[in-house]
Amino acid sequence: MTNTPETLLPTRYRLQDKLGEGGMGVVYRATDRLTGETIALKQVQVPAEYLQFMSSPPETVSHNLQVSLAREFQTLATLRHPNIISVLDYGFVQTETEPQAFYTMTYLPVAESLLEAGSQLSVEGKMELIQQTLQGLVYLHRRGILHRDLKPDNVLVVDGQVRILDFGLSLQQSKVGKEEAPSGSAAYLAPELWEHGSTSVVSDLYALGVITFELLAGQHPFGALDHDFVDRVLKADPDLNLPGVNADLAQVIAKLLSKTPDERYQHASEVQAALHTAMGQPVPSETNLIRESFLQAATFVGRKEELEQLNAAIIQTQAGQSPVLLIGGESGVGKTRLMDEVRIQAMLQGLTILRGQGVEGGGLPYQLWRAPVRRLLLMHSDIPDLQAGILKDLVPDISGLLDREVVDAPKLEGHAYQQRLILAIVDLFRNLREPVLLLLEDLQWTGESLAVLQQMIKV
């Protein structure tokens, strides 16, 4: 039987239709069955060794490349900024040859490309879109992330708000010949990239200069992608006598399009300041949301001994054992970040990851188990009707997750009700057909949820 994209993916996601296809993979519109939301899902269909990473992998063996790729996704998933698309989830599915990566993003149903959205705007309106794009680039570059494929189709606009997508990952230039380069991307490559140079902050800014010129002029600064296109990029100067563009703004564009990387702006924030001066507008301030995201996306360092113990537990789990480890520490010392790293290691070993979160004040009854149980129900929809009815109090939309009608279990009260629910949860885990990593956070706020864990450890 041939695997289709649908059968390879976790049961959490249900594909609807294909949105697009490029050099790195295919993007689908999909439904997240856990949340009921429509999302965009991208399957990366090139080997890990063909990808450029935000930081070079330590070794070139397959597993370490996959670890590096997983860390890339982990970093991207922590980024939150009003002008970049949000990466929501990521994972690997096993194909006949090697694990294949996928990740999910916010779906933008009525988005236009930057050029489409700005075509009828005034010069001031067009520069507002460019400024928003720069806000996103400032954020990415300060996180050490290059876009590498900035073009109008990767800068979308919804209700006047710019959202940058497809940042962080790209194909290595050495793995892709010029004749194979996507035409949309080739039009925005900086001169040095045609001469075997490396991508950089300033090559991203060059691409932004091309987009800015197109937005103002209605055409590419170096014409069509014909046989002489590269020569024009390397040698010709664009005509910057554009309608409605003052001398200061023309000078900014000229510097962005400089043939020599050192002669361009070196930081996106410099372009912001120059554009605001040229347009007579103030430089926007950084919001609290943006500042907080820098803290949330901190790089993982240290904790070697703890990570070795946790990796040993992953190996035990693969062997059919059920180790239990407790991670403790003061708030802010890095417990969640350590668990994120363990998630990466377990995911690459083929374990299913379940995550529960305690809530200050207790939240709903058995709050800790609601998210893990929902995931398990998607994985094993053939549970008995009585067990499904018992779990209905914990997961009210269980009928939708199981794709069948679930009736209420016979009514019980007090201790008998609690014990029946606890055993139903434990049985769900006991009947698993594959190894899982269960990550439970903030146990100090779990209350009655601990009774489930105590029973599970006994079993």
Domain C-terminal end among 90, 108, 126: 108
State the CATH number of the domain containing residue 17. 3.30.200.20
pLDDT of residue 172: 45
pTM for the whole structure: 0.75
Residues 425 and 321 in one domain: yes
Contact 156, 141 (CB under 8 A): no
- Is the per-residue pLDDT at 95 higher than 80? no
Is 401 a member of any domain?
Answer: yes
pLDDT of residue 70: 75
Supply 174's token pair: 């050495």
Is 298 a member of any domain?
Answer: no
Is 10 a member of any domain?
Answer: yes
Residues 405 and 267 in one domain: no
Smallest Cα–Cα separation from 169: which of 257, 105, 233? 105
Mean pLDDT on 200-218: 96
- Number of compact structural domains in the chain: 3
Residues 169 and 271 in one domain: yes
Is 370 a member of any domain?
Answer: yes
**What 3-state class would DSSP assign to 73?**
helix
Query: Is 442 annotated in the active site?
Result: no
Contact 201, 134 (CB under 8 A): no
Residues 74 and 171 in one domain: no
Domain C-terminal end among 292, 324, 355: 292
Mean pLDDT on 440-455: 88
Domain C-terminal end among 93, 108, 123: 108
Say what the alpha-carbon torsion angle 357, 358, 361, 364 is, to the nearest 10 degrees.
70
Mean pLDDT on 88-100: 76
Residues 40 and 125 in one domain: no
Residues 191 and 323 in one domain: no
State the CATH number of the domain containing residue 144. 1.10.510.10
Spatial separation of the C-alpha atoms in residues 318 and 435, rounded to whole Å:
6
Residues 225 and 120 in one domain: yes
Angle at 270 between CA 204 and CA 256, to 5 degrees: 45
| Chain segment 294-353, per-residue pLDDT in tens | 555 555 566 788 888 888 888 888 888 888 888 888 777 778 778 877 887 787 777 888
Residues 245 and 352 in one domain: no
Give me the catalytic one of 32, 149, 153, 382: 149
Fill in the DSSP letter of residue 343. Answer: H
User: Domain range holding 268?
Assistant: 112-292
